[in-house]
Structure 1
Amino acid sequence: MSARGSYFEFSYHVENLLFKGLGSSTVGGLFGLCIGVAVFTVLYESIKQFHHYLAEKCQENLLLGANVSRCNSQESETNRSDDIPLVQQQLFDILTSERLKCHLFQTVLHTVQVVMGYMIMLVIMSFNVWLGMSVVFASCISYHVCSTYIFNRPVLLPVEAVNYTS
């Protein structure tokens, strides 16, 4: 077993990256590893952004369903029909099942996100500068593209950045 320093190195020689036998001893092999790591990082950022997007959409749907339920309860007070409580119970059951499905899917996405995050951390812990830069650049670019162009999340400005001239 070779002693390994805790410092970053500019080397094209990589041994056992994430799995035994996955490595490189040539510049072309290192370039391939960097491309693979960048693609993996883009996939990680995409899953992370999708997880946030899905949480926002589920919250909107639950609020919309709660508003429909409130409207139905107001109608029941005015109509006094015997069928309205049954409709409300069915709506409640539908909202509960949708919430559970959404939560289950978010749980799976979270688990995949955690596993991928630890794998990216292990890539960084290989202390190879080229692989580390691949992770950083791919993360920056994919965050910008996913949040701005794919999921249309607004860019939030801090209050100090807004100019209040009158």
Structure 2
Amino acid sequence: MDHSHHHGDMSHGDMDHGDHDMGDACGHGHGHAMVFHSSVCQEILFSGWMTTNALELFGSAVAIFFAGVLYEGLKYFREALHARASAATGDSRVNITKSECGNNGPCGGTAVVKYTMLSSGHVVQTLLHFLQSTASYTLMLVFMTYNVWLCLALVLGLAVGYFFFGWRKNNVVDVNEHCQ
């Protein structure tokens, strides 16, 4: 596009667009919608994951729904591993002190578990934290497509996942949640 001359009364139709990518039939290539919309045409996370019809959008929504359920399962799994370590008070990899539990003896389910830096439990928790962080921010990016159907699939998946796994958790509020 040559902008070196005076535009004057030149309308958009008079502009030479040259080799610019103007998008496909769904409008891909025109940028990202910053408002909620219900279009079936949606680019999701990667340039290769595009929906162009309702069936493709539905399939993507189902995949995102299950990703939300699995995300809640991962959060529960991390807590269950932590609880198992809390029960292993005789394990040399876990250090629970009386002052951390109070002066009334064993902590029960409220133990403060301190792994050593190179313990297998800490390495596993670190890897699971990496997975949880990655999943959390990836799901946030899905929500930021602002596609109503994908957003609805995601929050329903998180709700169903919480229904399946949340009742077994020891904490109602997860202080390690990344995107809340």
Same fold per superposition (TM over 0.5):
yes
Q: Does 1:32 align with 2:59?
A: yes
Bigger helix share: 1
Structure 2 partner of 1:49 = 76
Shift of 1:128: 0.3
Shift of 1:3: 4.1
Structure 2 partner of 1:11 = 39
Q: Which amino acid aligns with 2:67?
A: F
2:69–2:157 CA contact under 8 A, matched in 1 = yes
**Structure possessing the higher relative contact order (Cα contacts under 8 Å, 6 or more residues apart):** 1
Structure 2 partner of 1:124 = 143
Shift of 1:147: 2.5
Shift of 1:5: 3.6
Structure 2 gap ranges (5+): 1-28, 93-114, 173-180
Q: Which amino acid aligns with 2:59?
A: G
Return the TM-score normalized by structure 2.
0.61
Q: Does 1:153 align with 2:180?
A: no
Q: Does 1:100 align with 2:119?
A: yes
Partner Cα distance (1:127, 1:153) in 2:
31
Structure 1 gap ranges (5+): 67-95, 157-166
Structure 1 partner of 2:159 = 140
Partner Cα distance (2:74, 2:87) in 1:
20
Shift of 1:19: 1.2
Q: Which amino acid aligns with 2:53?
A: T
Runs of 4+ deviating beyond 6 Å: none
Structure 1 partner of 2:133 = 114
Partner Cα distance (1:113, 1:26) in 2:
31
Bigger strand share: 2
Partner Cα distance (2:71, 2:171) in 1:
21
Return the TM-score normalized by structure 1.
0.66
Instruction: Write out per-residue CA displacement over residues 128-164 of structure 1, whole angstroms, 9 at most, x where no aligned residue.
Output: 010001110110111111122xxx33687xxxxxxxx
Q: Residue 4 and residue 153 in structure 1: after superposition, are their counterparts in 2 closer, same or farther (change >3 A)? A: closer
Q: Residue 41 and residue 129 in structure 1: after superposition, are their counterparts in 2 closer, same or farther (change >3 A)? A: same
Instruction: Write out per-residue CA displacement over residues 44-71 of structure 1, whole angstroms, 9 at most, x where no aligned residue.
Output: 111111011111111221x2447xxxxx
Partner Cα distance (1:101, 1:8) in 2:
44
Q: Residue 116 and residue 155 in structure 1: after superposition, are their counterparts in 2 closer, same or farther (change >3 A)? A: closer
Secondary structure, counterpart of 2:41 in structure 1 = coil
Partner Cα distance (2:124, 2:166) in 1:
20
Partner Cα distance (1:100, 1:110) in 2:
15
Partner Cα distance (1:142, 1:4) in 2:
29
